[in-house]
Structure 1
Amino acid sequence: MFAVIFRAKVKELDQQYSEMAAKLRDIAMNEFGCTDFISLTEGDQEIAVSYWPSEENIKNWKQHSDHLIAQSFGKKKWYSHYQVEVVEIKRSYASA
């Protein structure tokens, strides 16, 4: 299992962003095997964590045409800075 951690400094989040985020979440979950996707914004900081069965799924998702468009808008309009980390989950547990 892998996770993608996306952290960003928000520049401007508009209606186009909201629509694109919802669309991309659906595509990630329904077409690329994403098992969970959590996103929070506080002030000018955003963090999103998504969970994936493989690195291949993540790479394919990154190259999806709608995701490429969103990446371009993110760089030009929505974020002043962002960072992406892909991590492998070695162990996971939860309380009952």
Structure 2
Amino acid sequence: MFAVIFRAEIGELDQEYSELAGKLRQLAMDKYGCVEFFALCEGNQEVAISYWPDMTSIQAWKADPLHAQAQKKGRAGWYNRYLVQVAEIHRQYQVPAE
């Protein structure tokens, strides 16, 4: 299992951002195998974490044309800056155990 962590300083978000974000989340889950996705905003900071079964799924998602369009718009103004980290999950547990 892998996690993609997206951290950003928000620039100018608009209605198109809101609509596209929802479409992209659903596309990631339906077409590319994303297992879970959540995002939180506080002030002008956004953190999104998505979980993926393998690197192949992540790479296919990154290459998706709609996602590439969103990345371009993100660089053009939605975000002042962002950082993407890809991490492999080596261990996990939860309470209460299932």
| TM-score bin, normalised by smaller chain | over 0.9
Q: Aligned-pair RMSD on alpha carbons?
A: 0.4
The correspondence of residues 9-88 of structure 1 with structure 2, limited to 5 A, is 9-88=9-88
Provide runs of 4+ in structure 1 moved above 6 Å: none
Instruction: Give the residue type in structure 2 aligned to 1:67.
Output: H
TM (norm. structure 2) is 0.97
Letter matched to residue 66 of structure 1: L
- Superposed, which structure 2 residues align to 1:83-94 within 5 Å? 83-94=83-94
**What stretches of structure 1 of length at least 5 have no aligned partner?**
none
1:53-81 Cα offsets, whole Å, 9 max, x none, are: 00010000000000000000000010000
Aligned length: 96
Q: Structure 1, residues 19-78: CA drift from partner, whole Å, max 9, x if none? A: 010000000000000000000111100000000000010000000000000000000010
Q: Which amino acid aligns with 2:26?
A: D
Contiguous gaps of at least 5 residues in structure 2: none
Give me the TM-score of the superposition, normalised by structure 1.
0.99
